[in-house]
Amino acid sequence: MKTWSERFEEGLNPFIERFNASISFDFLLLEEDLDGSIAHAQMLGKTGIISPEEAFQIETGLETIRREASQGIFKPDFLDEDVHTAVEKRLTTLLGPLGKKLHTGRSRNDQVGTDLRLWLCRRIDDLDSHLKCLQIALFNKAERNLFTLIPGYTHLQRAQPLSLAHHFLAYIEMIGRDRSRLSDVRERVDICPLGAAALAGTSLPIDRVYTAKKLGFSNIYSNSLDAVSDRDFTVEFTAAASLVMVHLSRLAEEIILWSSEEFSFVSLTDRCSTGSSLMPQKKNPDVPELIRGKSGRVFGHLQGLLTMSKGLPMAYNKDFQEDKEAIFDTYKTVSDCLKAMTILIDEGLDFCEKSLSEAVESDFSTATDVADYLVSKNIPFREAYQIVGRIVRICLSKEILLKDLTLKEWKEIHSCFEKDIFEKLIPANVVAGRISEGGTGFNRVQEQLAKWRNELISPNQ
Ligand code: ARG
């Protein structure tokens, strides 16, 4: 029997009944639905719309349902349509006609908006702690690798050597922005629509601020139409989540490249890699590949929500039911990927010191520093740049590196080269010399490590 069945003469077509139902996925909102209903019942009792005794009995009934759900007694049944209807029906079974008073001054339209916002605020808090855990894992790697050098790339061509710590710190920064973005989104999720009723408010003397406060919301919607039809926050959330996935998939891609034989910068530990069913020699980077791959579904949810919302007339439309799976799956995907990436960083990467140092020694990535050397001898940068270009060409034709040139050969190219040019070609000296703020110079990286230690590991010290 539907809550709305009196109006209808015939029952629903069984396929349509299933098609219409959301309980298979929105049962996930049970905790929030119960919290919302308890706050609503307390408000009805406090304002005298129902008696305080009735409110108390409803609250007790709702807590019984919570217990029954935790024991697996109260389960989703698609005949109940959605979680809101299921709870109300169960309450009425438990309390008799009193259960039917719960929905006074409320509609499922403001109810579902309240549940989803409550759920999302809680999940954003949870994502924030996962993001912080990943930052800490990256920080620990960074701290241990201040003096480990790695080639830095632009266009995936060797550019200049870097401190590996600097590389990890870049990701800590990105994730810092993700956290601040999610916290901005949270401010706009943290608004209570309850009391907007179906679309226009109610004639009963409800107290919206009371329920909002009870539920921990910071604010209430000012306009009842907007309250039941605003889904901006779902788009904002999936947009912020998409950027998290962009960052995770960039890091994943680097780990995949680094672990290839071509790079050989890192080998994946047995705990975090998988074998091939056919090729016995293989160790596959499935974990970062999955993280990279899963970004697609989160971007898809963002696109789906934008399309679902566009062109909808005021106020509530059933289209909104489609927001839930997108939000639930976005949360689950991002939180799983964050956990997997944290494990991968913590225990999945063995950096191959030998290949890394061979890599930074065996290229022309100190060429900029030769140009800077000439600049220090008062040669204009553009001219210095041309001179070094010529040197690189000479080396390439002789199949040697810059460090293999003799002082005589340096001098032949330009008289101002002195013996100290050889020190300039040592990658560690090159890195140490990047003294500008935010650069990869060891002292600058140490400053950044101190900043993040303070923020992540030992705040207020
Ligand atoms: N399951 C519905 C949803 O997710 C609940 C609201 C139903 N409201 C309505 N007027 N049919 O949006």
Give, for ligand 1, the residue of 318, 319, 328 to mutate: max count of ligand atoms closer than 8 Å to Cβ. 318
Residue 293 Cα distances to 248, 258, 288, 333, angstroms: 10, 18, 8, 11
State residue 22 phi and psi, 5-degree precision: -120, 5
Which ranges of 150-231 does DSSP label H, i.e. alpha helix? 164-189, 208-214, 224-229
Tokens 């406060």 locate to 213
Question: Which residue in 260, 276, 362, 376 is the catalytic one?
Answer: 276
Ligand 1: atom nearest CA of 323 is: 4
Q: In the chain, pLDDT over 90 holds for what percent of residues? A: 92
- The pLDDT of residue 398 is above 90: yes
Residues 332 and 279 in one domain: yes
- The pLDDT of residue 166 is above 60: yes
Residues 200 and 290 in one domain: yes
Residues 203 and 140 in one domain: yes
d(CA 271, CA 273): 6
Residues 198 and 231 in one domain: yes
Kindly report the protein residue whose alpha carbon is nearest to atom 4 of ligand 1.
321
How large is the average pLDDT for residues 129-143?
A: 98
Q: 333 C-alpha vs ligand 1 centroid, how far in Å?
A: 25
Task: Look at residue 422 and tell me if it is in a domain.
Answer: yes
Task: Look at residue 113 and tell me if it is in a domain.
Answer: yes
Q: Tell me what pLDDT residue 460 has.
A: 63
d(CA 2, CA 319): 20
Enclosing domain of residue 317: 109-356
Is residue 386 within 8 Å of residue 421, measured between CB atoms? no
Tokens of 241: 């989540």
Task: Look at residue 254 and tell me if it is in a domain.
Answer: yes
The model's pLDDT over 343-386, given as tens digits with 9 standing for 90+, comes to 999 999 999 999 999 999 998 988 989 999 999 999 999 999 99
Question: Which residue in 155, 277, 436, 458 is the catalytic one?
Answer: 155
The last residue of a domain, from among 104, 132, 161: 104
Q: 183 C-alpha vs ligand 1 centroid, how far in Å?
A: 27
Task: Look at residue 416 and tell me if it is in a domain.
Answer: yes
Q: What is the CATH number of the domain that holds 88?
A: 1.10.275.10
Tokens of 236: 């904002």
Name the band, by pLDDT with cuts 50, 70 and 90, for residue 274. Answer: confident
**pLDDT-wise least confident of 38-47, 376-385, 451-460:** 451-460
Closest C-alpha to 69, from 30, 101, 32? 30
**pLDDT-wise least confident of 39-48, 68-77, 203-212, 280-289:** 280-289
Kindly report the protein residue whose alpha carbon is nearest to atom 3 of ligand 1.
321
The model's pLDDT over 170-180, given as tens digits with 9 standing for 90+, comes to 999 999 999 99
Task: Look at residue 329 and tell me if it is in a domain.
Answer: yes
Q: What is the CATH number of the domain that holds 380?
A: 1.10.40.30
Name the band, by pLDDT with cuts 50, 70 and 90, for residue 133. Answer: very high
Is residue 395 within 8 Å of residue 405, measured between CB atoms? yes
Ligand 1: atom nearest CA of 318 is: 12
Ligand 1: atom nearest CA of 82 is: 1
d(CA 98, CA 61): 10
Ligand 1: atom nearest CA of 324 is: 4
Q: Tell me what pLDDT residue 459 has.
A: 75
Give, for ligand 1, the residue of 108, 109, 110 to mutate: max count of ligand atoms closer than 8 Å to Cβ. 108
Q: 200 C-alpha vs ligand 1 centroid, how far in Å?
A: 16
Residues 26 and 157 in one domain: no
Kindly report the protein residue whose alpha carbon is nearest to atom 12 of ligand 1.
321
Q: What is the mean pLDDT of the chain?
A: 95
Around ligand 1, the residues with Cβ closer than 6 Å are 22, 26, 82, 108-109, 112, 316, 318, 320-321, 324
Residues 373 and 298 in one domain: no
Ligand 1: atom nearest CA of 198 is: 10
- The pLDDT of residue 7 is above 80: no
Angle between helices 52-70 and 30-46 (to 10 degrees): 170
- Mode of pairing for the β-strands spanning 266-268 and 219-220: unpaired
Task: Look at residue 4 and tell me if it is in a domain.
Answer: no
Residues 220 and 342 in one domain: yes
Residues 350 and 387 in one domain: no
Residues 249 and 313 in one domain: yes
Kindly report the protein residue whose alpha carbon is nearest to atom 2 of ligand 1.
321
Q: 245 C-alpha vs ligand 1 centroid, how far in Å?
A: 30
CA 163 to chain centre: 26
Number of domains in the chain: 3
Which residues neighbour 59 within 8 Å (Cβ) at sequence distance 6 or greater?
A: 38, 41, 42
Residues 287 and 366 in one domain: no
**pTM across the whole model:** 0.94
Ligand 1: atom nearest CA of 83 is: 1
The model's pLDDT over 144-158, given as tens digits with 9 standing for 90+, comes to 999 999 999 999 999
Residues 91 and 190 in one domain: no
- The pLDDT of residue 3 is above 70: no
Residues 232 and 332 in one domain: yes
d(CA 238, CA 401): 49
Q: Tell me what pLDDT residue 461 has.
A: 53
Task: Look at residue 233 and tell me if it is in a domain.
Answer: yes
For residue 167, indicate whether it is catalytic: no
Give, for ligand 1, the residue of 5, 78, 112, 225 to mutate: max count of ligand atoms closer than 8 Å to Cβ. 112
The model's pLDDT over 227-255, given as tens digits with 9 standing for 90+, comes to 999 999 999 999 999 999 999 999 999 99
The last residue of a domain, from among 327, 356, 385: 356
Task: Look at residue 393 and tell me if it is in a domain.
Answer: yes
How large is the average pLDDT for residues 117-131?
A: 98
- The pLDDT of residue 19 is above 60: yes
Name the band, by pLDDT with cuts 50, 70 and 90, for residue 2. Answer: low
- Mode of pairing for the β-strands spanning 266-268 and 157-163: unpaired
Q: Tell me what pLDDT residue 278 has.
A: 77
Q: What is the CATH number of the domain that holds 328?
A: 1.20.200.10
Tokens of 304: 């789906």
Name the band, by pLDDT with cuts 50, 70 and 90, for residue 281. Answer: confident
Name the band, by pLDDT with cuts 50, 70 and 90, for residue 1. Answer: low
The last residue of a domain, from among 356, 386, 405: 356
Name the band, by pLDDT with cuts 50, 70 and 90, for residue 283. Answer: confident
d(CA 114, CA 343): 34
Give, for ligand 1, the residue of 109, 111, 114, 194 to mutate: max count of ligand atoms closer than 8 Å to Cβ. 109
For residue 276, indicate whether it is catalytic: yes
